[in-house]
């Protein structure tokens, strides 16, 4: 079963390479253009200049006046605690699952232990 990397990302995986070799196709046209060596080299053609000193930055006054604070609450590590809902007295003592017979329809037992259904 293929890994679907070829369909999703156009990255030639072992499955796609094997199929292309079996059909005698070239692999170049089936590979994404962003991953070809010529395109990767073009990304480094544009010079990247370092930032000037912090004192030389031009920052708007409206941005300088804003105060950014850290979040008010920090989420504790681990799985969240289970939240117990308030249960009424009826919910506390009521039986959750009540079996009913598939043969006669009576409640409290199932078809396997039904005396009326066996007869």
Question: Confidence class of residue 116 from pLDDT cuts 50, 70 and 90?
Answer: confident
Is 30 a domain residue?
yes
Q: Got the DSSP string for 41-74?
A: HHHTTS--PPP--GGG----HHHHT------S--
Is 25 a domain residue?
yes
Is 119 a domain residue?
no
Is 22 a domain residue?
yes
For the chain, give the mean pLDDT. Answer: 81
Cβ atoms 12, 31 nearer than 8 A: yes
pTM of the model: 0.32
User: How many domains does the structure of the chain reveal?
Assistant: 1
Is 90 a domain residue?
no
Is 15 a domain residue?
yes
Domain extent for 18: 5-43
| 50-84 tens-digit pLDDT | 888 988 888 888 888 889 899 888 888 888 887 76
Is 28 a domain residue?
yes
pLDDT recorded at residue 89? 64
Is 13 a domain residue?
yes
């Amino acid at each position: 079963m293929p890994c679907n990397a070829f369909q999703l990302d156009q990255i030639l995986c072992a499955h796609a390479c094997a199929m292309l070799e079996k059909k005698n196709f070239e692999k170049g046209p089936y590979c994404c253009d962003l991953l070809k060596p010529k395109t990767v080299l073009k990304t480094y053609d544009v010079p990247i200049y370092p930032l000037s000193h912090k004192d030389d930055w031009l920052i708007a006054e409206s941005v300088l006046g804003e105060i950014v604070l850290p979040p008010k609450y920090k989420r504790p590590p681990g799985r969240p605690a289970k939240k117990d809902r308030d249960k009424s007295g009826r919910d506390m003592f009521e039986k959750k699952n009540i079996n009913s017979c598939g043969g006669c329809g009576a409640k409290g037992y199932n078809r396997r232990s039904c005396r009326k259904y066996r007869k």
